[in-house]
Structure formats: C-alpha cells, structure tokens
Amino acid sequence: MSTSVSSAAPASAPEAATDATDVYELRPDRKKHRLVYNVLGLGVFVVMAFPVYWLLVSAFRPNHEIRSYDQTLWPSSVTLDNFARAVDAPNFWTAIQSSLIICGASVAGAMLIGTIAAFAIGRFDFYGRKPFMTVLILVQLLPPTAMLIPIYVQLNGMGALNEYWGVIVVYLVSVLPFTTWMIRGFVINVPRELEEAAMVDGCTRMGAFWRVIFPLVAPGLAAASIFALITAWNEYLFAYILLQDNDKYTLNVWLMNFTTDRGTDYGALMAASVLIAIPVVVFFMIVQKKMAAGLTSGAVKG
C-alpha cells in the first residue's frame, strides 16, 4: 500500500505544477498586461523603424516624387539614378578612405588600450581605483560641444588640425572610457582561479591574460567594438571642424555636397546615406554572430 502511494505522488506533482502554470498563464490581468506591453513595444518599433524605412524608400524614388506633396508609402516608380549620382559625387572614394582610416584606427586603439586598462582595473587593487571608475563614467556626461573649443585650441597648438591623427586621437579619447568600463565588466566575471592556474602552469601574468582571460572576454570586445565603431562612424561635428580639406572629409561631412545654394538633391542624399550605413550594418552582423557564439560557448563550457 505504501509502495503504491509513493509511486503515485511523484506523478501528481508535475500535474499540479502544470495546472498551476496554466492557471497563472490564463489569468485575465496577466493577459491584459501582456497585451499592453505588446502594443507599446509595437508602437516604439514603428516610431523607430519608420524613419529608416522612409530613408530606404526615398533612396529609390525619383526626385520629383520626393518633392511632391502627395506622398505614398511605396514609390510609384523605382530608380537607381540616385545611387549613381551619389557615387559620382566629388570626393566619394576619398571620403570612404578617410572614414576607414579614422574609424579603423580609433576602434583598434580603443580595443587595445581599453582591454589592457580594463584588465588592470579589474584585476589589480590600487589606490584611487573606485574614484577613477567614477570619473571614467562621469566623463561621458560632458557634451561634445562643451569640449570643442578646448580640443580645437590644443590640437591647433600641436599642429594636428587637418590631420587624420588629430581626429583619431579625439575619437579614441571619446570612446575609450565607455569601452574600458564595458570590457571591465567581462574581466571581473572571469574567475581568478583560471588565471592563477595558468600562472602555476608556467604562464606569466600577460601570458595568462592573452591565453585565458582574453578569449573569455571576446563577447565584451565584440560589444565594445560595435559601440566604438558606431560612435566614430556617425560622428560629424569634430570631423567637420578639425578637417579642413575636402579630400580629407569623412563620409558624414561629405554629405554636405548634396546641399548647395541651388537646393538639396534629396534623392542622392538619401542614397548616399544608405551607402554610408551599409558598412556599419555588415560589421554589426558579423560581430554579433561572433558575440553570440562566444556567449554560447562560454555557457556550454562553464
């Protein structure tokens, strides 16, 4: 008798849990809350996605249709002339070169310096570490326009105006605090025992960092690199002020070519904006896959 009771008890527990779950999921107030959240989420998505959709659609519209007062969600005729005018615009290829040089150097420098700084902050106890982290975050609260004149005067005294390296330094300093803080969050989550075990096996401190910690913080590097690239690629103000030659302008500054005294070529401007966004989207897709793979691998191996 006792055997039959004990065997029936485990079978009834899942049924009771299932019934409780069904009752919880079918609660009317929960359904209402979920519906409200879904509607709000859909509304936020529409508000954020519609400008992107309108940009893509306008890139394929003829200019006369863009200027028309009778706008439609889909163009009545599709054209590639806007992209042709964008590519044929003066200094298009030199602007691509400038953006790749400046953004590539800024992201690479931020990843290198930020990773080493994050390792030092996350692993070593030194005087003033907490205030340093606080200052690192507070620096991000300063608006870029407030720093424009001091940076301009300093770079002018260094002879860095109208030079790539001057803009690279500005971009590097702009993205470095946040990238360091972000990577530090991944470093402190790596158990110290792994690093100590590697050092017991003969690795130096830097050897343990590159062989043990660095692979484990790869998802953080991917996320930080996305932030650094988007920030540097989309920056306009400092590139416009610090670079004075048309053949050194970045792509965002180069977009001014489509606005003249005779008017604005909106079709070519939209097409050029789409072309500028493609590299960032491609980079994000590539790094996102690696970041997700790193997180999954860490979860499986951990």
Same domain, 15 and 113: no
Same domain, 14 and 157: no
Q: Does 186 map to a domain?
A: yes
Same domain, 103 and 48: no
Q: Give the number of other CB atoms < 10 A from CB of residue 210.
A: 13
| DSSP state for residue 211 in the 8-state scheme | I
Q: Where are the beta strands (DSSP E) in 130-274?
A: 259-260, 263-264
Domain at 284, CATH number: 1.10.3720.10
Same domain, 189 and 146: yes
| DSSP state for residue 259 in the 8-state scheme | E
Q: Does 73 map to a domain?
A: no
| DSSP state for residue 69 in the 8-state scheme | S
pLDDT value, residue 26: 52
Domain boundary among 43, 59, 75: 59
pLDDT value, residue 293: 54
Same domain, 25 and 145: no
Q: Which domain range does residue 283 map to?
A: 89-301
pLDDT in tens, the chain (302 residues): 444 444 444 445 455 445 545 544 556 677 788 888 999 999 999 999 999 999 999 999 988 888 888 888 888 888 899 999 999 999 999 999 999 999 999 999 999 999 988 988 888 888 888 888 888 888 888 888 888 999 999 999 999 999 999 999 999 999 999 899 888 888 888 888 888 888 888 888 888 888 888 888 888 888 888 889 999 999 999 999 999 888 899 999 999 989 887 888 899 999 999 999 998 888 888 877 766 654 544 444 44
Model's pTM, two decimal places?
Answer: 0.78
Same domain, 161 and 293: yes
Please give the Cα distance from 285 to 283 (Å, whole number): 5
Same domain, 26 and 128: no
Q: Does 67 map to a domain?
A: no
Please give the Cα distance from 87 to 148 (Å, whole number): 31
pLDDT value, residue 217: 86
First to last CA, the chain: 45
pLDDT value, residue 291: 63
The number of folded domains in the chain is: 2
Q: Are 213 and 190 in contact (CB under 8 A)?
A: yes
Q: Does 126 map to a domain?
A: yes
pLDDT value, residue 46: 93
Same domain, 113 and 202: yes
Same domain, 17 and 100: no
Instruction: Extract the tokens encoding 260.
Output: 């003249």
Q: Does 283 map to a domain?
A: yes
Query: Which residue type occupies 189?
Result: N
By CB neighbour count within 10 A (0-12 exposed, 13-18 middle, 19+ buried), where does 125 fall? exposed
By CB neighbour count within 10 A (0-12 exposed, 13-18 middle, 19+ buried), where does 209 fall? buried
Same domain, 103 and 42: no
Same domain, 178 and 241: yes
Q: Does 253 map to a domain?
A: yes
Domain boundary among 38, 59, 80: 59
Same domain, 36 and 165: no
Distances (CA, A) of 179 to 125, 132, 182, 201, 217: 20, 15, 5, 31, 12
Q: Does 180 map to a domain?
A: yes
Q: Does 81 map to a domain?
A: no
